[in-house]
Structure 1
């Protein structure tokens, strides 16, 4: 047999003196053959240079690829740069480890190539990192017949949702931030897929495409009204994402001029950016200005930041288990962690 001839399972069976089915079982279902038979198969395979069954062919026969896709509504680098994305993906990876499943990262940049990439991905299911309401890629993923779980929303037909109650959590953290405050500033996530920075007073949450942003604005609005303030007078600085630089920019561009005495940030990273500017300006926290974040990161704890604690690691693990094993998804827990950044 020349080195240019591909060794087949039948060749190994003939060399080992066993059936082709025995060779297949030796590699794919070793419990179905004796140790002696496995020894003959592997010895013959080594002599012939056979490296095992073709994984693609196995996948076609079984209908499974042992791969899971995580679809990011961000640049792929976000998965490595953002601490909460890393926590979420760690949870996904842990669930994959339990089931000997590979992990595939796919971008969702609202371009045509993304739809083809999602549709053609050799995966057993999809986990979406928060996307916009009406995202066409959700329909693409559902149309494959594979299970789909969405973290943070939206709730979409044919998918499973995993998310804390963002409305209730936002109202709770905002009530803490607004104690003694009259000029709050909301430093928000993007409102839509265009991710344009803008300042808007009292925006209607129902017009916001990102469900996480929309639900947190609903909660903030409820707390503002409960505090006796007019939501129409509250400035909301929409940013491009959950980045520390967005908190810096919101304070520099708007917080200073507005003399904000409370900042409601939609992530700890954004809150920490705002805190940097506050310290630069020599303001006292929380006397001059109170600041709250979201996620309860290690950096937030070190900075004394009041925040909403949730486990994105557990959400990632639960989302992956729902897709890979059909496990039920329970509503994740959250709590307000009060520290020194609020009154």
Structure 2
């Protein structure tokens, strides 16, 4: 026979306990914000009504969900499609497995509901993928009592940060590529949360970029180009919307008409450099490529790249979010690999 019993809802628990549904929800997901007597009343109501799925029941009694939330300022599929993001998440997942924690993905959409969506997640702490300085999620998470760590920045009071010296690494890799007297072009990550695609020059870029990783790398490239006696203002730059090989190929096609035979394509990732190489290998076979993340695919075609362990960054972020006393705030070391 079918089970016609109606499922008990959180509203039922709230009504039995004499509290609002939001208070009942906070008793489960954010117990520190609910008075002890109220939490006990909600617990008794949940017990009486049979509203106690195992995970929620444990969270209600212990104040812990045993879940770590990962906040992505990208489309959720990016976490699986982008090799760099996948390596970072592998490091986060390793720590969760070691410590017996679950992993909850919390994607953002760039709308007004982002902050509430993140804060309502039933997690014990947050790991944030790098985002823009004006992202409202930053302020919301920084003010939340749960520990939070961001990869790559921006830095914010209340948020720990695990990162590397993007400016120094960008300066070093660009200087390395420019030693052969090549003419540089740049393929850049997005400049802001609008992710507007742009074909411009160094002169057309804003003086400050909200994405800290993009800002630091552009400044490093600029310093290297100017130290080589070249014009940053006249250097062609394509700003892509996404970090994909398809975007890198499209950027390269925009740059192709003005490329010198021995061009130096300075890309902010191996994915972008791989796409550019695919688009230019027949029309500009003598071009050289700089990337970032030292991917196996990039190494196979000779891309000179910055090596930095995103897996290690993921581990450090997860460890810091689960146990803030263990957080190592030192920068992740980097090296240059390739030709």
With normalisation by structure 1, the TM-score equals 0.80
Structure 1 residue 62 displacement after superposition: 1.6
Tell me how many residue pairs correspond in the alignment.
289
SS in 1 for 2:292: coil
Q: Equivalents in 2 of 1:255, 1:196: separation in Å?
A: 21
Match of 2:248 in 1: 247
Q: Equivalents in 1 of 2:282, 2:69: separation in Å?
A: 42
Q: Equivalents in 1 of 2:112, 2:178: separation in Å?
A: 44
Q: Equivalents in 2 of 1:270, 1:76: separation in Å?
A: 19
Match of 2:225 in 1: 224
Aligned 8 A contact 1:205 1:214 in 2: no
Point out the structure with max Rg over C-alpha: 1
Match of 1:297 in 2: 295
Match of 1:165 in 2: 165
Structure 1 residue 54 displacement after superposition: 3.5
Q: How is 1:254-293 mapped onto 2 (pairs within 5 angstroms)?
A: 254-259=255-260, 261-281=263-283, 283-284=284-285, 288-293=286-291
Match of 1:80 in 2: 80
Structure 1 residue runs of 5 or longer lacking an equivalent are 7-49
Aligned 8 A contact 1:177 1:263 in 2: no
Aligned 8 A contact 2:253 2:280 in 1: no
Structure 1 residue 134 displacement after superposition: 2.2
With normalisation by structure 2, the TM-score equals 0.81
Structure 1 residues 176-222: Cα deviation after superposition (integer angstroms, max 9, x where no partner): 12123353110000001111111221145642111110000010011
Aligned residues: CA RMSD: 2.1
Aligned 8 A contact 1:182 1:229 in 2: no
Q: Equivalents in 1 of 2:187, 2:53: separation in Å?
A: 54
SS in 2 for 1:233: coil
Structure 1 residues 109-148: Cα deviation after superposition (integer angstroms, max 9, x where no partner): 2112322210100001111111001211011112221111
Closer, same or farther in 2 for the Cα pair 1:166/1:205, shift >3 Å? farther
Structure 2 residue runs of 5 or longer lacking an equivalent are 8-49
SS in 2 for 1:231: coil
